[in-house]
Amino acid sequence: MTSENDTVQEHESIKELSALAVAGNLTEAEWAELKAHLAECASCRSVYEEDLLVAKRRMAILGNDSTAAGAGNGLGQFAGAK
Ligand SMILES: [Zn+2]
């Protein structure tokens, strides 16, 4: 049953791509691969959606911080990062 092993490995690599995707670290080719897989694979899609939720929550925290400190002038980033 090597084909099953191949499939499992494909899902595993998609999960890694998913984590990179929400961190904004994918190349266009990797994005294409991820999207193509998610279109057909509900279980990886739910993994990706969960990663997205986590990333959004993290961004909301960072976003609030930089908005409060920066007030749109960009210097807040440095102030926030100390
Ligand atoms: Zn999958």
Q: Where are the domains of the chain?
A: 2-81
| Amino acid occupying residue 33 | E
Tokens standing for residue 80: 């926030």
pLDDT of residue 7: 80
CA of 26 to the centre of ligand 1 (A): 17
By the 8 A CB rule, do 80 and 69 touch? Answer: yes
Q: What is the pTM of this model?
A: 0.65
Q: Is the pLDDT of residue 82 over 80?
A: no
Comparing C-alpha atoms, which of 8, 11, 21 is closest to residue 50?
21
Structure tokens at 58: 């993290």
Q: How far is the CA of 41 from the centre of ligand 1 (A)?
A: 5
Name the CA dihedral angle for 23, 27, 29, 30, rounded to a multiple of 10 degrees: -30
Using pLDDT thresholds of 50, 70 and 90, give the confidence band for residue 74.
very low
> pLDDT for 7-29, tens place per residue?
889 999 999 999 999 989 999 99
Whether pLDDT at 65 is above 60:
no
